[in-house]
Amino acid sequence: MSEVEVIVPAVAESSYKIHIGSGIISALWPQLEKQHPQSQKFVVTDANLVSAGHLQNLVGKNNVPTFVIDPPGEVSKHINTVVSIIETMEKAFLGRDSLIVALGGGTVGDIAGFAAAIFKRGIKVVHIPTTTVAQADSSVGGKTGVDSTISKNAFGAFWQPTAVYIDVETLKTLDDRQYRAGLVESVKHALIADSAYFNFLETNMSALLNRDSAVLEEIAYKNCKIKAAVVAEDPTEKNKRRILNFGHTIGHAAESVSEFELLHGEAVAIGIIGAELIARKLDLADDNRLDRIKKPLKKLGVPVRIPATLAKKDLINTMKCDKKAVGQWPKFVLLENIGVALCRNGQWAHDISKDVVAETLDALY
């Protein structure tokens, strides 16, 4: 028997810029043409972005091949949509030098990013996030993917964008419930990484609910700084990146058992309170901290209790299937303090017994 060793050189470090502003997308297309003169551009967006006028605002009079996801939202986040996108690109004779411009919320970004990751073994993607979830979270960090018929985000790839353009003006047309729920990810970022940011959110909640552009730009900047720092330290979620899942263990279970009646951010709000109840049980937190965390969530109008229609046993069974579960039980991210995630023995996600979680769920109804 003979052997050949294949030495794969380390993948080159990659970096990209997140540009944040108000009203920036109307002037963006010429800039993209200038920066990527050799690349054929292909826009992926959804029907709501078209009717809200954002696609027109982006491409202007340019005749750009475009794939419009319809119906918008999670129902279209499956592999068949990705296949339709890449086959449309093939039919338009797009090659490896093409560039996908993803205009939309987290579903558009996840689908388009995954299409970019696999088309001709990988092409460039630029994200233009248009929801509070996408501007705070999903457009940064390179997680892409789609749902299977069995679970959420079952297929996917890490595929970092070439650039991200955040235009807070696009949020002005977003439905109020979506807008508010997406801001929970901002509260989450503040809680795990920056107490001054949490103070800022407490102080500026009214302006935020009025969709004040200056405040929206400020929080976009703070969110991206936090997410970028965590992703740079642990790009493929071996350890520290798990802190971004704060509130998501109970949250994902509630979202999924509700059959997506609860929006992601709404479910995470419940999960954040759940994590705090666990912390209190373990003497890591007191009632004052819990009350302080509840306040901005209540102002956002998101739930902080599990709806009575969701059965505890279903939540527990769903947690057993959590993507990050080890031995059929997930780990939990907790807070040391407001603005500081708990790290013990070098680990950022922690073993919590089933009994403690079950008692916590009881207290969350």
Q: Which positions touch ligand NAD (CB under 6 A)?
A: 46, 48-49, 52, 72-74, 77, 104-108, 110, 130-131, 133-134, 137-138, 141, 143, 153, 170-171, 173-174, 178, 182, 264
Contact 166, 18 (CB under 8 A): yes
The kind and range of the H/E element at 274 are helix 264-281
Count CB atoms within 10 A of the CB of residue 287: 9
Q: Give me 199's structure tokens.
A: 């103070």
Question: Mind spelling out the 3-state secondary structure of 5-34?
Answer: CCCCCCCCCCCCEEEEECCCHHHHHHHHHH
Min CB(203)–ligand NAD separation in Å = 25
- Residue 251 or residue 277: which is nearer to ligand NAD going by CB? 251
Min CB(171)–ligand NAD separation in Å = 6
- Helices 184-193 and 264-281 cross at an angle (nearest 10°) of 30
Min CB(269)–ligand NAD separation in Å = 14
- Residue 250 or residue 277: which is nearer to ligand NAD going by CB? 250
Contact 146, 154 (CB under 8 A): yes
Contact 335, 191 (CB under 8 A): yes
Burial class (CB in 10 A: 0-12, 13-18, 19+), 343: middle
* Cα distance between residue 285 and residue 270, in whole Å: 17
* Cα distance between residue 59 and residue 68, in whole Å: 14
Does 121 qualify as catalytic in the annotation?
Answer: yes
- Residue 49 or residue 99: which is nearer to ligand NAD going by CB? 49
* Cα distance between residue 277 and residue 142, in whole Å: 31
The residue behind tokens 């002005």 is: 172
- Residue 248 or residue 350: which is nearer to ligand NAD going by CB? 248
- Residue 242 or residue 360: which is nearer to ligand NAD going by CB? 242
Does 87 qualify as catalytic in the annotation?
Answer: no
Contact 294, 269 (CB under 8 A): no
Does 242 qualify as catalytic in the annotation?
Answer: no
Of 267, 272, 311, 316, nearest to 290 by C-alpha is 272
- Residue 134 or residue 243: which is nearer to ligand NAD going by CB? 134
Does 320 qualify as catalytic in the annotation?
Answer: no
Min CB(355)–ligand NAD separation in Å = 30
Residue nearest to ligand NAD (CB): 106
Min CB(5)–ligand NAD separation in Å = 35
Min CB(84)–ligand NAD separation in Å = 17
Q: Which of 202, 237, 336, 359 is catalytic?
A: 237
Does 241 qualify as catalytic in the annotation?
Answer: yes
The residue behind tokens 């030495």 is: 7
Count CB atoms within 10 A of the CB of residue 33: 12
* Cα distance between residue 186 and residue 99, in whole Å: 29
Q: Which of 36, 143, 180, 242 is catalytic?
A: 143
Does 180 qualify as catalytic in the annotation?
Answer: no
- Residue 104 or residue 251: which is nearer to ligand NAD going by CB? 104
Does 248 qualify as catalytic in the annotation?
Answer: yes
Does 264 qualify as catalytic in the annotation?
Answer: yes
Q: Which of 180, 222, 264, 350 is catalytic?
A: 264
Does 90 qualify as catalytic in the annotation?
Answer: no
Q: Give me 74's structure tokens.
A: 């999670």
* Cα distance between residue 269 and residue 292, in whole Å: 13
Min CB(356)–ligand NAD separation in Å = 27
The residue behind tokens 């520290």 is: 240
Does 280 qualify as catalytic in the annotation?
Answer: no
Which residues are part of the catalytic machinery? 121, 143, 185, 227, 237, 241, 245, 248, 252, 264
